[in-house]
A and B are shown apart, each in its own frame.
Chain A
């Protein structure tokens, strides 16, 4: 429980896009919600995301916030 690789990737991308504190937390929620809404990634059958897809989602996350 608590998939280290997934959480590490979220942290790495959050650092790259300067998502700190609340924003980093919200980004993790955003990614999970994207999966729940059917906009998951291509990594596996659970619709997890590749690193490249997570970077793209980070851009969407920021654009949606108007940042």
Chain B
């Protein structure tokens, strides 16, 4: 089934409302999973791996593990909080030292259980809540013209959920053309 054709959603307040309601439904099975691994892809993109961990298929990556659920923050800056305490706030203009510091801090999410995932319909802000009161917060720039998604989620169903740019979002097969 071409899920994208059903769920690809244009800008509009009605659709924003759908986004706030539908995304928690799509990601419902992720709640309760452990973040087994925090990693960084090229461009310092934050990745969180949940679910079953298996080796990458590519022969030169076979020593690396990936989660059956993989969250990617793309180029969106992120914040890590524990309770009311802000542990780190990242930005596009971070220095190399700040980037390395943020990478160390966000590793605190490893081995933590995800307890909630919420998206704000108006701002598209995403909050991933973990046990021990940790939160990973993404506050996408809705005016960003890079063409990149704000964030993405690979799912065990061989689907990818992409939110952004702007208010656009889709959930489609990983085998479907972009």
CA of A15 to CA of B147, assembled, Å: 13
Contacts from A to B (Cβ < 8 Å):
1-8, 10-11, 15, 20-22, 25-26, 28-33, 35, 46, 61, 64-65
Chain B residues, Cβ within 8 Å of A10: 42-43
B175 touches A2 (CB 8 A): no
- Per the CB 8 Å criterion, the residue count for chain B at the interface is 43
Chain A proximity of B45: nearest CB distance (Å): 5
Complex Cα distance A56/B92, Å? 27
Tell whether, in the assembled complex, residue A20 and residue B72 are in contact, meaning their CB atoms are under 8 Å apart.
Answer: no
**Chain B residues in the interface with A (C-beta under 8 A):** 39-46, 56-61, 64, 66, 70, 72-78, 90-92, 94, 96, 99, 102, 146-148, 154, 158, 160, 173-178
Most buried by B among A2, A11, A32, A46: A2
Q: SS class of chain A's interface: helix, strand, loop or mixed?
A: helix
Say whether B96 contacts A7, CB under 8 Å: no
Chain A's closest residue to B160 (CB) is: A21
CB-based contact B73/A2 at 8 Å: yes
Rounded to whole Å, the gap between the CB of A32 and the closest CB of chain B is 4
In the complex, what distance in Å separates the CA atom of A35 from the CA atom of B39? 14
A31 to chain B, nearest CB (A): 4
Contacts of B102 in A (CB 8 A): 1
Q: Which residues of A contact B66 (CB under 8 A)?
A: 29
Residues of chain B with a CB closer than 8 A to A31's CB: 41-42
Contact B64 A33 (CB under 8 A): yes
A4 contacts which chain B residues (CB < 8 A)? 43, 75, 92, 146, 148
Closest 9 CB pairs of A and B: A21-B174, A6-B43, A1-B90, A2-B75, A28-B41, A31-B42, A4-B75, A7-B43, A3-B43
Please report the C-alpha to C-alpha distance between residue A26 and residue B42 in the assembled complex, in whole angstroms. Answer: 10
Cβ contact within 8 Å between A22 and B76: no
CB-nearest residue of chain B to A28:
B41
Question: A26 to chain B: which residues have CB within 8 Å?
Answer: 56-58, 61
**Inter-chain contacts of B57 with A (CB < 8 A):** 22, 26, 65
Docked-complex contact B99 and A1, CB < 8 angstroms: yes
* A3: min CB distance to chain B, Å: 4
